[in-house]
Amino acid sequence: MKIASLLGFVLMVAGLLGLLVTHSLFSVSPVVIGLQAGAVLLMVWARVTFRLRSFHVAANPTEGSLVTHGPYRFLRHPIYTAVVLFTFAGALSHPSLGASGLAVVVLVGALARMLAEERLLQVRYLEYAAYASQTKRMIPFLF
């Protein structure tokens, strides 16, 4: 699972860097700026809720109890959701096959990390299955 998580991380970074290099990540559109600002706020809220727990490049559950409050009350993966929202808002504002492909690379990387982390979390936290049955991964009420 750690290899899948590392691969997911590499895909996410590569996709984001590709969008940045091709000038397809940011936009002057107020709608895109609003969506990306909302994504940044979601990420900050999730990091603040997660407190001082460290970030791991590989999927390693951190010490402490399972976090189920803040944005984690609504989504199991608010940080990945924020990255994907930020990415797709930028890429869709620069319609091209390249930008769309790079956004999909970020999404695939995020999905790989989510699935890897969920397997490890199920082992680490007995209550994870119940939590997962009550929350969606990225889109409330859908997915």
88-97 residue pLDDT tens: 999 999 999 9
Question: Is position 110 within any domain?
Answer: yes
Whole-number Å distance between alpha carbons of 90 and 31? 10
Cα–Cα distance for residue pair 112/108, rounded to 1 Å: 6
- Averaged confidence pLDDT in the chain: 92
Question: What pLDDT, on the 0 to 100 scale, is given for residue 142?
Answer: 86
Q: So what's the pLDDT on residue 54? A: 63
In a domain, 101, yes or no: yes
Domain presence at residue 140: no
Domain contains 75:
yes
Which residue matches tokens 């082992």?
123
pLDDT for position 2: 82
Asked whether residue 64 carries a pLDDT value surpassing 90, the answer given is no
Residue 141 pLDDT? 80
In a domain, 143, yes or no: no
Locate tokens 């750690």: which residue?
2
In a domain, 117, yes or no: yes
Q: How many domains does the chain have?
A: 1
Domain that holds residue 20: 2-53+62-134
pLDDT band for position 26 (cuts 50, 70, 90) = very high
Which residues, at least 6 apart from 68, have a Cβ–Cβ distance to it below 8 Å?
131, 135
Q: Is residue 141 part of a domain?
A: no
